[in-house]
């Protein structure tokens, strides 16, 4: 990796961490330049605008989520094992994400703000939902889940369960958050089998 690519990677890692704490709107080229000890003009040369910085931070966070959650799931055996791997890896990422989940905070921050950042965020969420639905369809084709089950409904419900887990774990600090989330996931799978 070149020095420029290495610097960019380090900047994006730091930017995701900062944006997870202060939100994408709170992430500025000036504040990030101070944190990574680069000049503002040097950082500006990498990103050109605050909006481009925000979009690239989302893309970087998406790549990280894909590497840590989606790719291991896709590498698992087709069907229910793939869904279980996705769920387990997602639990770990939610539990270990500090200071928080960029996608959860950004969804609230940009839900009613039209523009390219919101558009990117919507694409990311829709792509995740479609990935879940596709894994579910594979489980149906393997005969492990009912043909009457709705893949999009399962994706919606699993996403809601994981969002609930994140809030119970991080905001409410419910010690039973993971146990309840596991039960909810098992209930979803059980319903999909009948």
CB–CB of 131/53 below 8 Å? no
The b-or-e profile of 145-155 (16+ CB within 10 A means b, else e) is beeebebeebb
User: In whole angstroms, what is the distance from residue 173 CA to residue 152 CA?
Assistant: 30
Picking from 1, 41, 33, the residue whose alpha carbon sits closest to that of residue 15 is: 33
CATH number 1.10.357.10 is the correct assignment for the domain at 57-193: yes
User: In whole angstroms, what is the distance from residue 163 CA to residue 165 CA?
Assistant: 5
What is the structure's pLDDT at 112? 87
What is the structure's pLDDT at 30? 78
Domain extent listing, the chain: 57-193
User: Max Cα separation, the chain?
Assistant: 60
Picking from 28, 69, 74, the residue whose alpha carbon sits closest to that of residue 49 is: 28
What is the structure's pLDDT at 1? 66
Cis-peptide, bond into residue 99, ω within 30° of zero:
yes
What is the structure's pLDDT at 85? 98
pLDDT along the chain (194 residues), means of 10: 72 84 81 78 76 89 93 97 98 81 83 90 94 97 96 98 92 95 98 93
């Amino acid at each position: 990796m070149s020095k420029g690519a290495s610097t960019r990677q380090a900047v994006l890692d730091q930017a995701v961490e900062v944006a997870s704490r202060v939100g994408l709107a709170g992430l500025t080229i000036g504040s990030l330049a101070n944190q990574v000890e680069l000049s503002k003009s040097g950082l500006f040369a990498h990103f050109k605008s605050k909006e481009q910085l925000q979009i690239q931070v989302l893309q970087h966070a998406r790549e990280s989520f894909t590497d840590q959650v989606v790719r291991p799931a896709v590498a698992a055996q087709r069907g229910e094992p793939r869904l279980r791997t996705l769920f387990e890896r997602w639990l770990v990422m939610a539990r270990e994400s500090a200071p928080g989940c960029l996608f959860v905070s950004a969804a609230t921050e940009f839900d009613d703000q039209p523009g390219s950042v919101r558009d990117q965020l919507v694409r990311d969420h829709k792509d995740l939902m479609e990935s879940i639905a596709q894994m579910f369809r594979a489980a149906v084709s393997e005969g492990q889940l009912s043909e009457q089950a709705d893949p999009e409904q399962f994706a919606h419900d699993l996403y809601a369960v994981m969002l609930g887990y994140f809030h119970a774990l991080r905001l409410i600090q419910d010690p039973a958050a993971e146990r309840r989330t596991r039960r909810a996931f098992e209930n979803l799978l059980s319903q999909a089998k009948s």
